[in-house]
Structure 1
Amino acid sequence: MTTIYDIAVAAKVSTATVSRVINTPELVSEKTRAKVEEAIEKLHYAPNALARELVTKSTNLIGLLIPDIANSFSPAVVDSFVGEMERNGYNIFVSITDADPEKENKCIDIMLKKRVEGIVLLGTRRMDRLANERIGILARRIPIVAIDYMPGAEGVCCVRCDEILGAFYATEYLIQLGHKRIALLNGNEEYTTYYYKRKGYRQAMEKYGLPVREEYCIATTPYFRGGYEACMQLLSLPEPPTAMFISGDQMAVGAYNAILSSGLKIPDDMSVVGFSGSPLSKAVYPPLSTVSQYARETGSAAAGIMLQKLRGEETKERVVFQPTLVKRASCGPAKQ
Structure 2
Amino acid sequence: MATLKDVAEKAKVSISTASRALNGSPNISEQTTILIKKIAEELNYIPNTTAQVLAGKRSNIVGIIVPEINSDYFSKMIESIETELQKNRYSLLIANTYYDSDKEASALDNFINHNIDGIFLACSINNKDLKHYNRKLSLHGIPLIALDTRLEGADCNQIRVDDTLGMSMAVYHLLERGHKRIGFISDYINDKQLRPDMFRQALINNQLNPAKSQVISHQTCRFEQAGYEVMKIFLSQPSYPTAYIAGYDDIAIGAMRAITESGLRIPEDIAIIGNDNGRAGEYLHKKLTTLSPPVEKMAQVGVDMMLKLISGEEKNMIHHISLIPELLERETT
Please classify the TM superposition score into its range, dividing by the shorter chain length.
0.7 to 0.9
The question of whether the paired residues in 2 share the 8 Å contact of 1:246 and 1:272 is answered with: yes
The number of aligned residues is 325
TM-score (norm 2): 0.85
Shift of 1:196: 5.1
1:110 corresponding residue in structure 2? 110
2:151 corresponding residue in structure 1? 151
1:1-336 alignment runs, 5 A limit: 2-6=2-6, 14-23=14-23, 25-28=25-28, 33=32, 37=36, 40=39, 44=43, 46-49=45-48, 50-122=50-122, 124-126=123-125, 128-140=126-138, 141-149=141-149, 151=151, 154-188=154-188, 191-194=192-195, 197-204=198-205, 207=207, 209-210=208-209, 212-213=211-212, 216-220=214-218, 222-314=222-314, 317-331=319-333
> Percent identity at matched positions?
26
Shift of 1:222: 4.9
Shift of 1:328: 1.8
Shift of 1:113: 1.4
Q: What is the distance in 1 between the residues matched to 2:88 and 2:265?
A: 49
Q: CA RMSD in A?
A: 2.9
1:334 corresponding residue in structure 2? none
The question of whether the paired residues in 1 share the 8 Å contact of 2:124 and 2:149 is answered with: yes
70-79 vs 157-166, greater mean Cα deviation? 70-79
220-229 vs 108-117, greater mean Cα deviation? 220-229
Taking a change above 3 Å as real, the CA distance of residues 176 and 300 of structure 1, as seen in their structure-2 partners, is same
Taking a change above 3 Å as real, the CA distance of residues 20 and 296 of structure 1, as seen in their structure-2 partners, is closer
Cα deviation 1:29-86 (Å, max 9, x = unaligned): 678x479839945983725413333335211111111211221222222211101101
Q: What is the distance in 2 between the residues matched to 1:312 and 1:105?
A: 25
Secondary structure of 2:180's match? coil
The question of whether the paired residues in 2 share the 8 Å contact of 1:185 and 1:246 is answered with: yes
Note the residue ranges of structure 2 that are not aligned, 5 or more in a row. Answer: none
Shift of 1:288: 1.2
Q: What is the distance in 1 between the residues matched to 2:87 and 2:229?
A: 43
Taking a change above 3 Å as real, the CA distance of residues 35 and 234 of structure 1, as seen in their structure-2 partners, is closer
Secondary structure of 2:142's match? coil
- Structure ID, larger Rg: 1
Taking a change above 3 Å as real, the CA distance of residues 260 and 10 of structure 1, as seen in their structure-2 partners, is closer
